[in-house]
A and B are shown apart, each in its own frame.
Chain A
Amino acid sequence: MRLFDGVARIGLGLAAVGRPGYINLGRERDLPGERTVDAMRGRAHALLDQAYASGVRYFDVARSYGRAEEFLASWLPGHDDAVVGSKWGYTYTAGWRVEAGVHEVKDHSVAAFERQLAETRALLGDRLGLYQIHSVTPDSPALTDRELHRRLAGQGAVVGLSTSGPRQAEAIRAACAIEVGGEPLFRSVQATWNLLEPSAGPALAEAHASGRAVIVKEALANGRLAAEFPEAALAAVLRQPWVTVVLSGAATGAQLASNLRAASLDTADLGIRPEPPEQYWRTRAELAWS
Chain B
Amino acid sequence: MTTVDVAQSHAALTVSALLALAEEKRLAGDYRAGCEAARQAADRAASAGDAAGEAAALRSLGVQLMRLGQQEEAVAACRKAVVRLETLGDAVALCEVLTVQAMPLNDLGMHEEALDVLATARDIAQRLGNRNLLYWVHNRLGVVHGSMGDRELSTECLMQALSLVDGMDDEARFCILNNVSDNAVYEVPRLRGRGDAEAADRALADALGYVAEALRLARVACHPYRESISLDNYGMLLALAGDLDGAALLIEESRQLAVRAGYRSLESAALQHQARVRLMRGDHATAIEGLILALDRARQAGEKPMTMEILRELSGAYEKVGDFAAALSHYRDYHDLERELHNQVAAARARMAAHYFELDNARLEAENARLEAALHRNRSDELAADNLIWQRQATEDALTGLPNRRSVDERLPKLVEDGVPVCVAVADVDLFKRVNDRYGHFVGDEVLRRIAAILLDHVRESDLVARLGGEEFLIALHGSGIADAQVKCELLRASVAAYPWEQIEPGLAVTISLGVAQIAGPASLPDALSVADQHLYEAKRAGRNRVRAA
A residues with a Cβ closer than 8 A to B are: 25-26, 28-29, 223-224, 227, 278-279, 282-288, 290
Chain B residue at minimal CB-CB distance from A290:
B490
Nearest Cβ on chain B to A187's Cβ, whole angstroms: 34
Q: Is the CB of B498 within 8 A of A282?
A: yes
The residue from A29, A285, A287 contacting B483, defined by CB atoms under 8 A apart: A29
Using known A-B contacts A28-B483, A29-B483, A227-B484, determine if residue A282 contacts B490 with beta carbons closer than 8 Å: no
Give Cα A278 to B500, complex, Å. Answer: 10
For residue B493, which residues in chain A have a CB less than 8 angstroms away from its CB?
Answer: 286, 288
For residue B500, which residues in chain A have a CB less than 8 angstroms away from its CB?
Answer: 278-279, 282
State whether the Cβ of B431 lies closer than 8 Å to any Cβ in chain A: no
Q: Is the CB of A25 within 8 A of B498?
A: no
Ordered by A's residue number, 14 sampled pairs between the chains whose C-beta atoms are within 8 Å are A25-B490, A26-B484, A28-B483, A28-B486, A28-B549, A223-B487, A278-B500, A283-B491, A283-B495, A285-B498, A287-B491, A288-B490, A288-B493, A288-B546
For residue A29, which residues in chain B have a CB less than 8 angstroms away from its CB?
Answer: 483, 486-487
State whether the Cβ of B497 lies closer than 8 Å to any Cβ in chain A: yes
Nearest Cβ on chain A to B496's Cβ, whole angstroms: 8
For residue B498, which residues in chain A have a CB less than 8 angstroms away from its CB?
Answer: 279, 282-283, 285-286
For residue A28, which residues in chain B have a CB less than 8 angstroms away from its CB?
Answer: 483, 486, 549
Give Cα A223 to B490, complex, Å. Answer: 11
Give Cα A223 to B488, complex, Å. Answer: 10
For residue B549, which residues in chain A have a CB less than 8 angstroms away from its CB?
Answer: 28
Give Cα A25 to B487, complex, Å. Answer: 6
Give Cα A26 to B549, complex, Å. Answer: 12
Q: Is the CB of A288 within 8 A of B484?
A: no
B491-519 CB mask vs A (1 if < 8 Å, else 0) is 10111011110000000000000000000
For residue B546, which residues in chain A have a CB less than 8 angstroms away from its CB?
Answer: 288
The DSSP consensus for interface residues of chain A is: helix
Chain A residue at minimal CB-CB distance from B495:
A283
For residue B547, which residues in chain A have a CB less than 8 angstroms away from its CB?
Answer: 288
For residue A288, which residues in chain B have a CB less than 8 angstroms away from its CB?
Answer: 490, 493-494, 546-547
Nearest Cβ on chain B to A26's Cβ, whole angstroms: 4
Q: Is the CB of A286 within 8 A of B484?
A: no
Give Cα A26 to B487, complex, Å. Answer: 5
The 10 closest A-B pairs by CB, nearest first: A282-B498, A29-B483, A286-B494, A283-B498, A286-B497, A26-B487, A25-B487, A286-B498, A287-B494, A283-B494
Give Cα A12 to B525, complex, Å. Answer: 43
Give Cα A227 to B423, complex, Å. Answer: 15
Q: Is the CB of B488 within 8 A of A227?
A: yes
Nearest Cβ on chain B to A215's Cβ, whole angstroms: 25
Give Cα A28 to B549, complex, Å. Answer: 10
Other A-B pairs, 9, CB within 8 Å; known A29-B486, A286-B495, A286-B498: A28-B486, A29-B483, A227-B487, A282-B498, A282-B500, A283-B494, A286-B494, A287-B490, A287-B491
Give Cα A279 to B484, complex, Å. Answer: 23
Nearest Cβ on chain B to A284's Cβ, whole angstroms: 8
Q: Is the CB of B483 within 8 A of A26?
A: yes
Give Cα A193 to B546, complex, Å. Answer: 27
Give Cα A285 to B545, complex, Å. Answer: 13
Nearest Cβ on chain A to B477's Cβ, whole angstroms: 11
For residue B490, which residues in chain A have a CB less than 8 angstroms away from its CB?
Answer: 25, 287-288, 290
For residue B491, which residues in chain A have a CB less than 8 angstroms away from its CB?
Answer: 25, 224, 283, 287
Give Cα A224 to B458, complex, Å. Answer: 10
Give Cα A288 to B549, complex, Å. Answer: 14
Nearest Cβ on chain A to B54's Cβ, whole angstroms: 46
Give Cα A288 to B496, complex, Å. Answer: 13
Chain B residue at minimal CB-CB distance from A278:
B500
For residue B484, which residues in chain A have a CB less than 8 angstroms away from its CB?
Answer: 26, 227
Give Cα A284 to B491, complex, Å. Answer: 9
For residue B494, which residues in chain A have a CB less than 8 angstroms away from its CB?
Answer: 283-284, 286-288
For residue A25, which residues in chain B have a CB less than 8 angstroms away from its CB?
Answer: 487, 490-491
For residue A278, which residues in chain B have a CB less than 8 angstroms away from its CB?
Answer: 500
Nearest Cβ on chain A to B265's Cβ, whole angstroms: 52
Give Cα A161 to B352, complex, Å. Answer: 69
Query: B221-275: which have CB < 8 Å to A?
Result: none
Give Cα A284 to B483, complex, Å. Answer: 20
Give Cα A95 to B543, complex, Å. Answer: 22
For residue A287, which residues in chain B have a CB less than 8 angstroms away from its CB?
Answer: 490-491, 494
Nearest Cβ on chain B to A279's Cβ, whole angstroms: 7
Chain A residue at minimal CB-CB distance from B497:
A286
Nearest Cβ on chain B to A213's Cβ, whole angstroms: 31
Interface centre among A28, A279, A284, A285 (most CB of B within 10 A): A28
Nearest Cβ on chain B to A225's Cβ, whole angstroms: 11
For residue A224, which residues in chain B have a CB less than 8 angstroms away from its CB?
Answer: 491
Give Cα A290 to B547, complex, Å. Answer: 11
Chain A residue at minimal CB-CB distance from B496:
A286
Nearest Cβ on chain B to A27's Cβ, whole angstroms: 9
For residue A282, which residues in chain B have a CB less than 8 angstroms away from its CB?
Answer: 498-500
For residue A223, which residues in chain B have a CB less than 8 angstroms away from its CB?
Answer: 487
Query: B37-86: which have CB < 8 Å to A?
Result: none
Query: B522-550: which have CB < 8 Å to A?
Result: 546-547, 549
Give Cα A28 to B486, complex, Å. Answer: 9
For residue B487, which residues in chain A have a CB less than 8 angstroms away from its CB?
Answer: 25-26, 29, 223, 227
Give Cα A51 to B494, complex, Å. Answer: 32
Chain B residue at minimal CB-CB distance from A228:
B460
